Homo-oligomer: A and B are copies of this chain.
Amino acid sequence: MSAVSKGTDETVATSDRAGQEIFTPHDHAACVSNSFAAAEARCESGKVRLTENRRRVLDLLLEEHRPMGAYAILERLRAIGYSAQPPVAYRALDFLMEKGLAHRIESLNAYVACSNPENCTNPAFLVCQVCDRVAEAQADDRPSAAALAAGKIGFEIEQEFREARGTCPSCTNKA
């Protein structure tokens, strides 16, 4: 298994992290190596390991660079010659999410690799309903509407989900 992408649209790097790198060419090889570097770093300290299975799933997510359902991941794993029952995918995904290397897109029941694992605290996702890609944006530092409401009533937030469905710029232009 190679930690390497499919080789499409990975020519131009962008520095802005507003999310457009997903909908336009970007330095995908860097994505991959960043992500694996972060993954290894996060396993150094603890007792957990970046095992073969977990690598493979991370690799698939990075390669696709778009949300994948757990069963799509399983199919791919089988295609490359591994036996894989559902728990295999879910365990790997749980690990990756726990370590901040992947995110669940609630509105799609699907999973994506984190596009910025070094610096990912409050991601918001822009989900293109045409091409099915997802851009990950870092939320700004203003408290969200949910956080404000929570503060008012003494609700303690543990995790926020922010997702938006719509049409990405390149699909808008095609239409």
A100 → chain B closest CB, angstroms:
16
B163–A158 touching, CB < 8 Å: no
B residues less than 8 Å from A138 (CB atoms)? 145
CA distance A57 to B106 in the complex (A): 24
Q: A71-92 interface mask toward B, CB cutoff 8 Å, 1 = contact, 0 = none?
A: 0000000000000000000000
Task: Pick from A35-43, A46-54, A59-67, A148-156 the stretch touching chain B.
Answer: A148-156
CA distance A56 to B172 in the complex (A): 40
A169–B155 touching, CB < 8 Å: yes
A158–B149 touching, CB < 8 Å: no
Task: Pick from A2-10, A26-34, A123-131 the stretch touching chain B.
Answer: A123-131
B163–A157 touching, CB < 8 Å: no
B residues less than 8 Å from A119 (CB atoms)? none
B residues less than 8 Å from A161 (CB atoms)? 106-107, 161-165
B residues less than 8 Å from A167 (CB atoms)? 155-156, 158
